[in-house]
């Protein structure tokens, strides 16, 4: 019987023809008979053939028309009779198709055929798959224990019914399968009944009467189609066979199109014929022991070599044959022995696969003399395919063989053809293998684990492209453009993936705007990634400073994890303040931390493993995250299981080292990546702090090289992803050689599930990629043996995967034979290469263990080519690799290697002693997998001999003699190869190696650039004069590089680099001159600005106002303005403004008080400046300012070299001085304040007034004199009395201030006339104050102003300010709402009440004191008054002023005293005392 696929395809075609024939007839009944007869002829009475029809409508027609439908039904029902593999039977497939038919055509079903049958059948398939995978070897677990059981419970319950329970035994499972089987049988019988109804046949045929415009010709003429992820634009005129073009074939076509147009046309015609199935008619080139390789002859001198291959079909879960074009060759280029080897290698000794890649007679269509492609179910292998050996091949033939088999293939689409014809350099996505395609198309969270070279990064790249394509094609479930983010630790990887994405996008997504990126394969320019950020606009340059500011046009975003953290911290800084500290990396740890650790604690432990333990376990593990302080304490750390930490028995020592590390880190004010992650996670969890980031989440996150991250880093990524089901994690824990890396995918999956259980999808799937597309099987098998050792002895340090397989065989790695205990042959050969200037090629590399070994090698052999440490080699790949003395330089001793290689008990008794050896094996794995073609080992150490015997015993390596069996190492490379390798080394920051590569390539200017970077790299850790000298050398080298660049785009960055090197050693002017030479005015100005040379930067801004960017110009001028004003350099500041008014406005806006005053004084606005002083209460300063200009009217004290005249007339200035002087004096010494208050200030002002003969008005002059007398106190009483008499009618508050001092001196007790005069003045004084105490004058502005001046308070719009130490400051409560150090503010009402109370109380106290003073006078004693001639007073006589005092002095004195005392009110204590003393006064009181 022919293959299943062949029968299905052929029958499908025949059936389509029959249906077309039926639809063309008006009478349906004869057609039904014809269909029935044809089915019999085709043997469709055999159900195994009949039910492979995939079209539900065709199947329905067949059932309706077949005479043996009942027989078919019985056979199918028997197949559905309770078997676990039910879902893979023909019967189950038939039920699926029939349910689909009734779902599409409900008019043909009745109530018994429910629409839900289709969903049920789909669910049954999943349930049957789950049930079929169950094993019941161990006793059943209790329900609910273990995550897997819970998941299965959930899925089964959803598929069946709520009462369904997960079977715990095989018997329970079989019962469940029987229930499903019975349900399927019932559905099948219902379908047959419906379709076998008599009138149903004609109805079904009627359904096929469709207008021609509604038919799909492709669907009717093509039995099946290959599935294209991206290209669907087939070329017009091409047939049903898909053509896949290899990389070589694409180069051939481009060359033919340019130089041999006729041959190109013939080749195109032949490809068209092949697409129509005209295959194999011109011969088989090879295929006896492998897959057939065919040859086609489009023209004389041109051959097409191709073969049949299986690719994913448009029907999911199936494969279809396609044509892969190896290339276009001249006849002489075709070597039969190579193609025989290619055939065997592709066949992989797999007969089934060879049959799939062959043409079958049953696929041949006789009428068209062509083949149709066959389809198959995916091939499943129980064990990896075994590649046949390649035999003895020359190095050139091996290169051609590997190059042919390792090629990638692209769909020959219309876009591809247009790119060839138009000579457009576009990179198209290549055809994926089935296992890769499954990952790309999986719509949920994925964990992609694969060893080195397995295509993990490519899969992620194409997944990103697919999501973008679905959006632009309108097939995305979301209308909003998806935000996708690619995250990795390597900036080089992020840059390359971004570059490749936009290459693919330009070919497949024309609607996607291209983002400007540097061509990473363009070696004509060199700029370090970090320098690129400010130059070419790579992934980081065009990004905002905050994550929340990312917009749709930034996506898809390709970013390093460090840059992502910087974006997030940009948001966190704006919310919770800055906290960023210098970051401790491995280099910093090694140089500044490990070297300071106590030697006893460092004994016996590897610093790399210790650093990884600190970050990955003690701080970065799940247990640490769940602890209160986010760090494991010693007891918890010691209690960890072996699966978490390998330092069993040494954890106390490790924790002591950690404590030393933490203390030193705190002293240095630094943080490590674990600190940073914990801070970010905690901030994101905070609703307020994390809101800017969590409100701007991304839709898809792809993490490549995930093993380089901390476990806790996943929390950050999960927090910023909007869908926990849209994350892809890819990596390989076999490559966790970087310090600080302690990562396992099993831990990651469990950690994410436990910490994000509510948002994590249960559909997350783990994909294991086992095919290595980089190296051949000889190298892969050797590397796999290293993986096996790690898995066996350190199973918790690596994810266990299916063993790697290659796509082609190759020579086993070579252990170079040497004389015992010496590398003499190898060393002699290397020394010979060194002395004869023979070097390795661009695709060859020498790997050594560490930096120390590298220095030793270079001292011994000089520069032999590319020599790298194993850490530096990660991410790079070469054709040939020589591993030199790896085992001799191993940190692990011979005993430990022997215990592992011989699997002794010593290892298991103390595994912590072997932690370093695990890291050594991972390094060894990385070393082996750097090689694509040849891997050589040179090592004579005892450890090396042990590993050699270990490999030889397994047939994994071969031992050959250099100079005999291996004639040489070196292989020459052309100029382009050297240049490309130089670019790769430059990107890896291996500048010295890059320089040597460019030297071989002949690119002198690129060599100089690389050396300049090397000098700068060397200068950073240096100190003293060596550092300065090296930076200057680097600067000069960069300057020469800038000078040699003809393109300004590349000239500017090197000038900047030169300037930066000059700046590192303080040569600011040289840096600026370098920038000015290339017209980099903005950078020059900013350099001066950042160096603190404000004057020079301002000069550049003024010289090149249009050339300097506005932002820089604004930054410089703003800073300069502030600096100049702060320094009172007003002439410089004025140059930065158009007008003086603008300058004053700037100062006032920034509240630069004193600077504003100084500038106004400098500008001649003296009065305005003085007024600003007075607004702030600085009257003394205002007076000094005006006085200064009175002395020197043509000069400013701030810029004496700039003459500045006052713009105000002298008369106006005099008026201002008078006003400000009086205001100062009144505020300093108001009523009720001692003359000593602010005495120094008053003395200074009065002295100034005396020095300058100000032409004040008489009123002002008198008040100034009053304060001079007040300063003298009682010595100037007469003068004050005289002044007071003058103020009595002109300035009453000055009069009151004079009396307040003059009345303190009592007259001579012997002169009754003086007493009378004193009492008269005192009466007027007290009377005025008594009137004031009533508060009747408030509201009258003039009176209020006078009161304010007299008592020293000040009025504002709503408040009254009472300065401290003044008359009314007494009696204020301490808890006043507006109380301050310098005074208290009260409302108007509060002040009025306070005013009355204080003044009234003062009057009472004053009168009491006055009464006491008077009683001491003899003239006021009762005895004196009674002895007087006229001692009888009537009330009337007391009330009248009577005759002059000389006629009746005693009477008038008593009368004045009485009037004075009555001013205190009837309750005045002094008045009561007076009445008691003078009984004759009682009648006056009564009156």
Q: What angle do CA 489, 491, 495 make, to 5 degrees?
A: 125
Distance CA 1152, CA 545 (A): 32
CA distance 299 to 295: 12
**φ, ψ at 364 (rounded to 5°):** -85, 130
Distance of CA 645 to the CA centre of its chain: 30
Residue labelled with tokens 């390649």: 390
Neighbouring CB atoms inside 10 A of 797's CB total: 21
> What span, in angstroms and rounded, lies between the C-alpha atoms of 1177 and 90?
102
Inter-CA distances, 1282 with 861, 1072, 1288, 1322, Å: 112, 76, 10, 15
Do 1285 and 1321 touch, CB atoms closer than 8 A?
Answer: no
How far is Cα 516 from Cα 499, in angstroms, rounded to an integer?
A: 9
Nearest to 954 by CA among 788, 843, 825: 788
Residue 1163's SS3 state is coil
Q: What does 271-340 look like in DSSP terms, one character per residue? A: HHHHHTT--STT-EEE-SSSS-EEEEEEETTEEEEEEEEEEEBSSTT-EEEEEEEEEEE-GGG--HHHHH
Cβ 144 vs Cβ 150: under 8 Å: yes
User: Quick one: which of 394, 305, 406, 320 has its CA closest to 357?
Assistant: 320
Do residues 538 and 494 make contact, with C-beta atoms less than 8 angstroms apart? Answer: no
For 462, residues 6+ apart whose C-beta sits below 8 A from its C-beta are: 229, 429, 432, 436, 440, 504
Measured in whole angstroms, the distance separating CA 1352 from the mean position of its chain's CA atoms is 63
Closest alpha carbon to 1099 in 1114, 1116, 1083: 1116
Across 984-1067, where does the E strand assignment appear?
Answer: none
Alpha-carbon span 1460 to 1446, nearest angstrom: 20
Handedness of CA 506, 508, 513, 516 (dihedral sign): negative
How is residue 1118 written in tokens? Answer: 């703003």
Task: For residue 789, give both structure tokens.
Answer: 């050792």
Only one residue has tokens 């995930």, namely 706
Answer for the pair 84, 132: CB distance below 8 angstroms, yes or no.
yes
Residue 1132's H or E segment, with its range, is helix 1130-1134
Give, as one character, the DSSP assignment of residue 453.
T
CA distance 811 to 935: 9
Find all residues with CB under 8 Å of 27, minimum gap 6, and list them.
none
Distances (CA, A) of 21 to 9, 18, 203, 211, 298: 19, 5, 16, 14, 38
Burial of 715 (0-12, 13-18, 19+ CB in 10 A): buried
Of 1096, 1161, 1163, nearest to 1123 (Cα)? 1096
Which H or E element spans position 842?
none
pLDDT at 883: 92
Nearest to 938 by CA among 824, 785, 858, 835: 824
The predicted structure's pLDDT at residue 519: 47
For residue 1007, give the 3-state DSSP assignment. helix
- Cα separation, 480 vs 112, whole angstroms: 42
Q: Which residues contact 1134 (CB under 8 A, 6 or more apart)?
A: 1140, 1143, 1159, 1163
Close Cβ partners of 1429 (under 8 Å, ≥ 6 residues apart): none
Nearest to 294 by CA among 274, 321, 267: 274
Q: Is 135 left (phi over 0), alpha (psi -120 to 50) or beta?
A: beta
Residue 568 in contact with residue 547, Cβ under 8 Å? yes
Packing angle between helix 1081-1090 and helix 1110-1126, nearest 10 degrees? 30
pLDDT attached to residue 641? 74
DSSP helix/strand/coil, 245: strand
pLDDT score recorded for residue 1438:
37
User: Which helix (DSSP H) or strand (DSSP E) does residue 879 occupy?
Assistant: strand 878-884
Closest-CA residue to 623 (of 712, 512, 536, 701) = 712
Rounded to whole angstroms, the Cα distance separating 1119 from 1117 reads 5
Q: What is the pLDDT of residue 873?
A: 83
Backbone angles phi, psi at 1333, to 5 degrees: -65, -20
Look at residue 270 in the predicted model and tell me its pLDDT.
92
- Alpha carbon 1333 to chain centroid, angstroms: 73
| Closest to 1028 in 3D by CA, of 966, 1074, 1070 | 1070
Burial class (CB in 10 A: 0-12, 13-18, 19+), 398: buried
CA distance 394 to 391: 10
Coil/strand/helix, residue 53 = coil
Name the stretches of the chain with pLDDT < 50. Answer: 1-29, 32, 41-52, 111-115, 138, 140-164, 208-223, 518-521, 523, 534-540, 740, 1197, 1199-1203, 1423-1447, 1480-1487
pLDDT, tens only, 292-304: 999 999 988 899 9
Cβ neighbours for 1459, distance < 8 A, ≥ 6 positions apart:
1323
> In angstroms, rounded to a whole number, what is the distance separating the alpha carbons of residues 33 and 527?
78
Strand 958-961 with 1354-1355, pairing? unpaired
Read off the pTM: 0.63
């Amino acid at each position: 019987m022919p293959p299943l696929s062949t029968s299905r395809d052929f029958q499908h075609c025949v059936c389509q023809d029959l249906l077309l024939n039926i639809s063309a007839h008006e009478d349906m009944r004869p057609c039904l008979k014809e269909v029935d007869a044809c089915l019999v002829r085709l043997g469709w009475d055999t159900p195994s053939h009949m039910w492979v029809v995939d079209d539900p409508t065709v199947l329905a027609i067949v059932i309706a028309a077949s005479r043996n439908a009942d027989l078919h039904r019985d056979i199918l029902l028997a197949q559905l009779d309770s078997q676990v593999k039910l879902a893979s039977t023909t019967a189950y497939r038939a039920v699926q198709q029939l349910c689909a038919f009734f779902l599409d055509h409900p008019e043909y079903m009745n109530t018994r055929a429910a629409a839900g049958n289709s969903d049920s059948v789909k669910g049954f398939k999943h349930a049957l798959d789950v049930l079929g995978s169950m094993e019941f070897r161990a006793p059943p677990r209790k329900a609910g224990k273990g995550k897997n059981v819970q998941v299965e419970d959930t899925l089964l319950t959803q598929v069946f019914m709520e009462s369904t329970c997960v079977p715990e035994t095989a018997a329970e499972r079989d019962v469940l399968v029987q229930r499903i089987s019975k349900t399927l049988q019932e559905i099948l019988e219902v379908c047959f009944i419906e379709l076998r109804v008599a009138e149903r046949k004609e109805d079904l045929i009627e359904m096929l009467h469709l207008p021609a415009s509604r038919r799909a010709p492709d669907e009717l003429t093509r039995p099946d189609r290959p599935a294209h992820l991206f290209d669907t634009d087939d070329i017009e005129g091409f047939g049903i066979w898909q053509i896949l073009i290899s990389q070589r074939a694409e180069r051939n076509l481009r060359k033919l199109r340019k130089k041999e147009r006729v041959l190109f046309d013939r080749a195109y015609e032949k490809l068209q014929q092949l697409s129509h199935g005209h295959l194999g008619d011109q011969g088989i080139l090879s295929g006896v022991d492998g897959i057939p390789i065919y040859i086609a002859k489009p023209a004389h001198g041109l051959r097409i070599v191709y073969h049949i291959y299986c690719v994913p079909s448009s029907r999911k879960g199936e494969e279809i044959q396609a044509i892969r074009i190896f290339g276009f060759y001249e006849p002489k280029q075709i070597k039969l022995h190579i193609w025989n080897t290619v055939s065997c290698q592709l066949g992989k000794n797999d007969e089934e696969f060879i049959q799939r890649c062959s043409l079958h007679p049953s696929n041949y269509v006789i009428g068209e003399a062509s083949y149709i492609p066959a389809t198959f179910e995916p091939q499943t292998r129980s064990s990896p395919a075994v590649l046949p050996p390649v035999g003895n091949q020359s190095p050139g033939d091996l290169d051609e063989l590997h190059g042919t088999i390792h090629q990638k293939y692209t769909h020959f689409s219309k876009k591809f053809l247009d790119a060839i014809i138009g000579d457009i350099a576009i990179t198209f996505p290549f055809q994926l293998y089935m296992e890769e395609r499954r990952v790309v198309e999986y719509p949920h969270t994925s964990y992609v684990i694969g060893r080195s070279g397995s295509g993990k990064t490519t899969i992620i790249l194409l997944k990103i492209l697919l999501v973008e394509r679905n959006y632009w094609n309108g097939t995305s479930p979301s209308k909003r453009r998806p935000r996708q983010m690619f995250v990795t630790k390597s900036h080089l990887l992020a840059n390359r993936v971004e570059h490749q994405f936009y290459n693919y996008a330009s070919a497949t997504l024309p609607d996607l705007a291209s983002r400007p990126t540097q061509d990473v394969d363009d070696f004509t320019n060199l700029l370090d990634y970090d320098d690129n950020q400010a130059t070419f606009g790579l992934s980081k340059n065009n990004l905002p400073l905050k994550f929340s500011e990312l917009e749709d046009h930034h996506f898809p975003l390709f970013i390093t994890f460090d840059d992502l953290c910087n974006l997030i911290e940009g948001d966190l800084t704006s919310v919770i303040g800055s906290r960023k500290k210098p970051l401790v990396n491995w280099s910093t740890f090694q140089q500044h931390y490990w070297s300071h650790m106590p030697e006893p604690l460092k004994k016996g432990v590897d610093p790399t493993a210790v650093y990884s333990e600190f970050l990955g376990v003690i701080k970065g593990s799940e247990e640490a995250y769940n602890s209160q302080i986010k760090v494991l304490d010693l007891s918890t750390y010691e209690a960890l299981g072996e699966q978490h930490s390998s330092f069993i028995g040494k954890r106390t020592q490790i924790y002591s080292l950690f404590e030393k590390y933490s203390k030193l880190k705190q002293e240095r004010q630094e943080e490590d990546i674990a600190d940073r992650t914990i801070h970010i996670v905690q901030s994101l969890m905070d609703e307020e702090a994390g809101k800017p980031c969590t409100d701007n989440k991304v839709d898809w996150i792809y993490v490549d090289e995930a093993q380089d991250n901390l476990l806790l880093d996943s929390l950050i990524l999960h927090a910023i992803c909007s869908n926990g089901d849209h994350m892809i994690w890819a990596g390989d824990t076999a490559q966790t050689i970087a310090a600080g890396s302690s990562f396992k995918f099993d831990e990651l999956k469990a950690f994410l599930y436990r910490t994000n259980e509510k948002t994590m999808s249960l559909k997350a799937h783990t994909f294991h990629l086992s095919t290595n597309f980089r190296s051949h099987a000889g190298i892969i098998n050797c590397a796999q043996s290293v993986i096996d050792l790690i898995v066996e002895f350190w199973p918790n340090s690596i994810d266990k995967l299916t063993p790697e397989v290659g796509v082609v065989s190759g020579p086993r790695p070579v252990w170079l034979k040497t004389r015992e205990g010496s590398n003499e042959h190898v060393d002699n050969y290397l020394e010979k290469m060194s002395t004869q200037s023979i070097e390795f090629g661009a695709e060859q590399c020498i790997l050594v263990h560490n930096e120390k070994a590298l220095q030793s090698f270079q001292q011994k052999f000089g520069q032999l080519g590319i020599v790298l440490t194993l850490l530096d080699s990660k991410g790079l790949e070469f054709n040939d690799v020589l591993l030199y003395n790896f085992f001799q330089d191993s940190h692990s001793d011979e005993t430990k290697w022997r215990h592992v290689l011989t699997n002794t008990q010593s290892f298991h008794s103390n595994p912590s002693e072997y932690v370093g050896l695990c890291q050594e094996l991972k390094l060894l794995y990385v070393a082996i997998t750097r090689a694509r073609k040849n891997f050589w080992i040179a090592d004579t150490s005892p450890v090396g001999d042990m590993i050699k015997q270990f490999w030889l015993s397994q047939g994994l390596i071969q031992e050959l003699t250099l100079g005999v069996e291996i004639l040489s190492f070196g292989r020459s490379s052309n100029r382009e190869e050297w240049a490309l390798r130089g670019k790769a080394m430059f990107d890896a920051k291996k500048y010295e190696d890059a320089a040597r590569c460019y030297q071989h390539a002949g690119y002198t200017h690129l060599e100089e650039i690389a050396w300049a970077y090397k000098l700068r790299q060397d200068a950073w850790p240096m100190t003293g004069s060596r550092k300065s000298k090296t930076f200057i050398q680097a600067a000069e080298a960069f300057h020469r590089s800038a000078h040699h660049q003809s393109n300004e785009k590349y000239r500017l960055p090197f000038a900047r680099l030169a300037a930066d090197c000059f700046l590192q050693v303080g040569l600011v002017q040289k840096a600026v001159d370098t920038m000015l030479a290339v017209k980099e005015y903005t950078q020059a100005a900013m350099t001066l600005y950042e160096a603190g040379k404000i004057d020079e930067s301002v000069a550049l801004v003024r010289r090149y106002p249009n050339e300097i960017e506005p932002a820089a110009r604004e930054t410089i001028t703003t800073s300069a303005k502030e600096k100049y004003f702060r320094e009172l350099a007003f002439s410089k500041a004025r140059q930065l403004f158009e007008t003086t008014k603008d300058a004053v406005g700037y100062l006032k806006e920034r509240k630069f008080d004193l600077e504003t005053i100084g500038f106004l004084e400098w500008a001649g606005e003296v009065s305005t400046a003085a007024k600003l002083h007075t607004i702030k209460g600085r009257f003394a300063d205002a007076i000094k300012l005006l006085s200064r200009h009175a002395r020197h009217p043509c000069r400013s004290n701030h810029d004496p070299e700039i003459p500045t005249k006052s713009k105000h007339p002298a008369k106006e200035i005099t008026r201002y001085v008078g006003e400000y002087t009086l205001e100062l004096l009144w505020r300093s010494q108001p009523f009720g304040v001692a003359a000593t208050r602010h005495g120094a200030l008053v003395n200074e002002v009065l002295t100034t007034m005396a020095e300058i003969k100000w032409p004040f008005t008489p009123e002002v002059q008198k008040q100034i004199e009053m304060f001079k007398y007040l300063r003298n106190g009682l010595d100037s009483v007469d003068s004050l009395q005289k002044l007071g008499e003058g103020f009595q009618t002109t300035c009453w508050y000055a009069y009151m201030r004079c009396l307040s001092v003059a009345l303190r001196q009592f007259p001579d007790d012997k002169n009754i006339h003086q007493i009378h005069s004193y009492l008269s003045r005192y009466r007027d004084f007290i009377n005025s104050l008594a009137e004031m105490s009533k508060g009747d004058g408030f509201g009258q502005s003039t009176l209020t102003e006078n009161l304010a001046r007299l008592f020293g308070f000040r009025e504002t719009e709503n408040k009254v300010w009472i300065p401290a130490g003044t008359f009314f400051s007494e009696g204020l409560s301490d808890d006043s709402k507006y109380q301050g150090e310098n005074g208290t503010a009260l409302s108007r009402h509060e002040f009025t009440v306070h005013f009355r109370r204080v003044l009234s109380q003062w009057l009472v106290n004053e009168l009491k004191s006055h009464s006491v003073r008077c009683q001491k006078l003899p003239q006021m004693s009762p005895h004196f008054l009674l002895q007087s001639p006229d001692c009888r007073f009537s009330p009337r006589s007391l009330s009248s002023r009577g005759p002059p005092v000389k006629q009746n002095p005693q009477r008038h004195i008593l009368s004045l005293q009485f009037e004075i005392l009555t001013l205190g009110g009837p309750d005045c204590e002094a008045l009561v005392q007076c009445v008691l003393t003078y009984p004759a006064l009682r009648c006056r009181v009564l009156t």
